[in-house]
Structure 1
Amino acid sequence: MGKQHHFHHVGSYLRPQVLKAARQQVEKGEISQEELLHLQDDLVKDLVAKEVEVGLPLVSDGEFGRSWWHLDFLWHLEGFESYEQEDSYHFHGAKTRKTNVRLTGKVRENKNHPFYRDFAYLKSITPEGVVPKVTIPSPSLIVGRDHRSDLALDFYDTWQDFLDDLAQAYHDTIQHFYDLGARFVQLDDTTWAYLLHQLIQEADNPERLAELKQLAEDDVYVINKALSHLPEDLLLATHICRGNFKSTYLFEGAYDGIADYLGRLPYQVYYLEYDDARSGGFEPLAKIWNQRPDVTLVLGLITSKHPDLEDQDKVIERIDEASSYVPLENLALSTQCGFASTEEGNVLSEEDQWQKLLLIRDISQRVWENE
């Protein structure tokens, strides 16, 4: 990965108010989609300039073209549609909108997926020596999650056929991003946090535990199949997230119960939440590293949920602790999540988010400057 890649950010940024207002204007028919995209492009260009200015070697478009970190991507795949479910997602102390996705037929790549256009623009404005990255949800967000695969057997003869088509749709989509010039694709994934939470909650229920373990195996299968036979110079990353909405969360639990599964996935980079006690200790890092010794484990020690800046020395102490399980050269530093997994955003200001990134940059320079 190189020295410069010890400084990371997960991907999303707070949406400027002017962008939020423009989206509402499109919904009301006051401006066109083309006018919105023109504004969005201008704002993404400004964002990338700021990302480069703070020294990020990997830049994103802030996910400015989407309302949700995952749903916008999923409902634009062939075989899915968006709909309003009966209830919202229950975060701690907050409720989301009720949007979800469901199957309408067999799953395929959408060759006209709007994310392709957004990435092509991002790449066109990314300066030489900086890598534009793609962030999309993992296919595990479909498998057994939030009723999104409930109708699979309405369209497929077997569950296996559904898993294979889902994997192929993702493979084709990622290859398409590669053909557009992407060399770093990140799959954001809350399913592993869901599983680690459920494995703890259902520890005394053998039948439910068996179901959860089968779900984990299905996820490993789909992810591995989706990411197989892709170009060798494509870096594949994942972000293991416990949920992020208006500075709240969904799941809690240490990585111990899922570390073996994570080590079986074909990622070169893992973004891992470690900003509070809900994440547990660093011992599970060794399980991932032992299975994948060339991996980069990005420690999300800096919270994106609140504006208070962490103490540099204490963060460095935690990095030192993690390096007792994994070599320091295999570690990196980032926020634990993005600043706006949904367009509502976390409870901090745009200035706060840049101060967080400058903090990560400064700590990274202190820790890895001699690497």
Structure 2
Amino acid sequence: MTKSVEQRVSKAPFKGDHVGSFLRPERLKQARLQKAKGEITDQELREIEDEEIVKLVEKQKAVGLKAVTDGDFRRSWWHFDFLEGLDGVEGFETEKGLQFDGVVTKAHGIKVTDKVGFSDHYMIEHFKFLKSIAGDAVAKFTIPSPNMLFFRGEIDKGLYDSDEAFIDDLIVAYQGVIQALYNEGCRYLQIDDTSWATFFSEEGRASIEAKGKNPEKVAKLCARAINKSIANRPDDMLVTMHICRGNFKSTFMTSGSYEEISETIFGGLNVDGLFLEFDDERSGGFEPLRHVYRSDLSIVLGLITSKFGELEDPEKVKARIAEASRYVPLDQLCLSPQCGFASTEEGNLLTEDQQWEKVCHVLDIAKEVWK
């Protein structure tokens, strides 16, 4: 093993890694229901969250993960909860939820009611707690991409005279959040982004055109939002991005290959690593990886599904890793589940035991491939 490969094995993203969210324990689910009914206080809920997160972090370390998260245990949604913490953004109850493959989420949305900004963010305290209990593991924090507010938020008329002006404010807000997280010790940040999946299919691109916008122009705007948001990060802060086609109760929202937008994703984003969904045919083949031009960009292959409990044939997974290495050198590749286990508090349709078997499956295969 060369020195460069040794360095890649020992630094994040790790050869066996994970996206971040975990199934909520029953005790935590019950506590959140009790809080909603006014049966317990904010402080009592916080104490239960703290206790369950401590257990989760210890479990992650026990199975061999080198990066630990809080599992999104304090969140209902992977994106809305964070975005509502930005200045000028509010949550509201919608008439209907988001449509997935045969199921619909709870009715909830976000709207921009004032200029977007950052003065403080309550999730910085969430990271501080995670960092305090991580021990010798890397405390990994996940936040939604700025593009999620652009794609999911309803913007009050008259606030911004152009998409560019809105993105400019959003970039400044994200720069503030990222610097604040760094100041508290965050060195491994993951940005989650489902907006790119809109560009994967003709239907998705048509939905952009239906709003009177040019898909190519919007893609450039999204890339700019990412690159500018992370441009000022210190050299010792690793920023990865997870790209997904939707994950709710083991279903998905969209399908399509990375091909249509591959040059932008693989050649135009200044992140340090990409967590990519590749667990089934919905994601297409590895050919779009030919646009990975940087030798310092880690590609984390999401070949293990988080949607179902059945374990993948390890030999088939190894074969797919070998296939991907035709486009990206093996030492730049990593392995993970294709998504988190609970992008929302409802979680995917598998048991906690199956969840941990999946994580161990990732780690066992990674140890064999990157010896």
TM range, smaller chain: over 0.9
Q: 2: CA distance between counterparts of 1:273 and 1:286?
A: 16
Q: 2: CA distance between counterparts of 1:26 and 1:48?
A: 24
Alignment of 1:15-164 (within 5 A): 15-111=24-120, 113-128=121-136, 130-143=137-150, 145-146=151-152, 148-151=153-156, 154-164=158-168
Structure 1 residues 207 and 85: CA distance shift in structure 2, 3 A: closer
176, 196, 200: which one aligns with 1:196: 200
Query: Could you tell me which amino acid in structure 2 is paired with residue 51 of structure 1?
Result: Q
Matched residue, 1:3: 9
180, 184, 187: which one aligns with 1:183: 187
Q: 1: CA distance between counterparts of 2:50 and 2:244?
A: 28
Deviations 1:251-284 (A, max 9, x none): 1000101111112111111000000000000011
Query: Could you tell me which amino acid in structure 2 is paired with residue 121 of structure 1?
Result: F
Q: TM-score, normalised by structure 2?
A: 0.94
Query: Could you tell me which amino acid in structure 2 is paired with residue 138 of structure 1?
Result: S
Q: Shift of residue 197 of structure 1?
A: 2.6
Deviations 1:120-166 (A, max 9, x none): 000000112x21011000001122x23x1532x52234432221110
SS in 1 for 2:155: coil
227, 249, 252: which one aligns with 1:249: 252
Matched residue, 1:235: 238
Q: 2: CA distance between counterparts of 1:180 and 1:107?
A: 23
| Percentage of identical aligned residues | 45
Specify every segment of 5 or more residues in structure 1 that has no aligned partner in the other structure, as ranges.
Answer: none
How many residues align structurally? 361
312, 326, 329: which one aligns with 1:327: 329
SS in 2 for 1:297: strand
Query: Could you tell me which amino acid in structure 1 is paired with residue 227 of structure 2?
Result: N
Q: 2: CA distance between counterparts of 1:57 and 1:173?
A: 24
Q: 1: CA distance between counterparts of 2:272 and 2:349?
A: 31
Q: Is the 8 A contact 1:199 1:212 kept in 2?
A: no
Q: Shift of residue 65 of structure 1?
A: 0.6
2:268 aligned with 1:264: yes
Q: 2: CA distance between counterparts of 1:198 and 1:343?
A: 31
Q: Is the 8 A contact 1:199 1:257 kept in 2?
A: no
Q: Is the 8 A contact 1:183 1:235 kept in 2?
A: yes
Q: 2: CA distance between counterparts of 1:243 and 1:221?
A: 23
SS in 1 for 2:331: helix
Query: Could you tell me which amino acid in structure 2 is paired with residue 217 of structure 1?
Result: K
Q: Is the 8 A contact 1:297 1:330 kept in 2?
A: yes
Deviations 1:16-37 (A, max 9, x none): 0111111111111111111111
SS in 2 for 1:6: coil
218, 221, 227: which one aligns with 2:221: 218
Q: Is the 8 A contact 1:15 1:345 kept in 2?
A: yes
Q: Is the 8 A contact 2:131 2:139 kept in 1?
A: yes
Q: 2: CA distance between counterparts of 1:286 and 1:322?
A: 10
Alignment of 1:286-325 (within 5 A): 286-287=290-291, 289-290=292-293, 292-325=294-327
Structure 1 residues 331 and 201: CA distance shift in structure 2, 3 A: same
Q: Is the 8 A contact 1:87 1:98 kept in 2?
A: yes
Q: TM-score, normalised by structure 1?
A: 0.94
Q: 2: CA distance between counterparts of 1:256 and 1:54?
A: 35
Structure 1 residues 366 and 103: CA distance shift in structure 2, 3 A: same
SS in 1 for 2:158: helix
Q: Shift of residue 70 of structure 1?
A: 0.3
Q: Is the 8 A contact 1:199 1:209 kept in 2?
A: no
Q: 1: CA distance between counterparts of 2:358 and 2:163?
A: 44
Q: Shift of residue 202 of structure 1?
A: 3.8
Structure 1 residues 200 and 101: CA distance shift in structure 2, 3 A: closer
Q: Is the 8 A contact 1:304 1:335 kept in 2?
A: yes
Specify every segment of 5 or more residues in structure 2 that has no aligned partner in the other structure, as ranges.
Answer: 1-6
